[in-house]
Amino acid sequence: MAEKRTCTVILPTFNEEENIAKMVSSLKEMYPDFCILIMDDNSADRSKELVEALNFRDVRFFVRAPDDKGLTASTCEGITIAGTDFFVNMDSDFQHPLEAVGRIYDELNKGFDLVVGIRSDRKALGFKRSAGSWLFHALASSVLFVHGKRRSKDIMSGLFGGSTAIFSDVIKENGNKFEMKGFKVLLDLMKFAPPEIRVGEITYEFGKRMGGESKVNPKIVYLTLRQCGIVGRFFARFYKALFS
Ligand SMILES: Nc1nc2c(ncn2[C@@H]2O[C@H](COP(=O)(O)OP(=O)(O)OP(=O)(O)O)[C@@H](O)[C@H]2O)c(=O)[nH]1
Ligand SMILES: [Mg+2]
Pairing of strands 86-89, 114-121: unpaired
Pairing of strands 35-40, 59-63: parallel
Chain-centre distance for alpha carbon 92: 10
Residue 23 Cα to ligand 2 middle (Å): 13
Residues, CB within 5 angstroms of ligand 2 (ion): 91, 93, 95, 209
According to the CATH classification, is domain 7-243 in 3.40.50.1100? no
Per-residue pLDDT at 132 exceeds 90: no
Listed by start position, the domains of the chain span: 7-243
Would you give the DSSP letter of residue 177? G
Q: Is the CB of 93 under 6 A from ligand 1?
A: yes
The secondary element (H helix, E strand) that includes residue 40 is: strand 35-40
Per-residue pLDDT band for 2 (boundaries 50, 70, 90) equals low
Per-residue pLDDT band for 1 (boundaries 50, 70, 90) equals low
Range in 27-36, 75-84, 105-114, 122-131 the model is least confident about: 122-131
Range in 118-127, 142-151, 217-226, 227-236 the model is least confident about: 118-127
Provide the whole-model pTM.
Answer: 0.95
- 4 vs 28: which has the higher pLDDT: 28
Per-residue pLDDT at 203 exceeds 90: yes
Per-residue pLDDT at 144 exceeds 80: yes
What would the mean pLDDT of 5-20 be, rounded to a whole number? 98
Q: Is the CB of 65 under 6 A from ligand 1?
A: no
Query: What is the percentage of the chain residues whose pLDDT exceeds 90?
Result: 87
What would the mean pLDDT of 164-184 be, rounded to a whole number? 98
Q: Is the CB of 216 under 6 A from ligand 1?
A: yes
Q: How far apart, in Å, do the first and last CA atoms of the chain sit? A: 59
Pairing of strands 86-89, 199-205: unpaired
Report the nearest-CA residue for atom 9 of ligand 1: 13
Integer angstrom CA distances of residue 122 from 30, 206, 231: 25, 6, 25
Specify which residues 88 forms β-bridges with.
9, 161
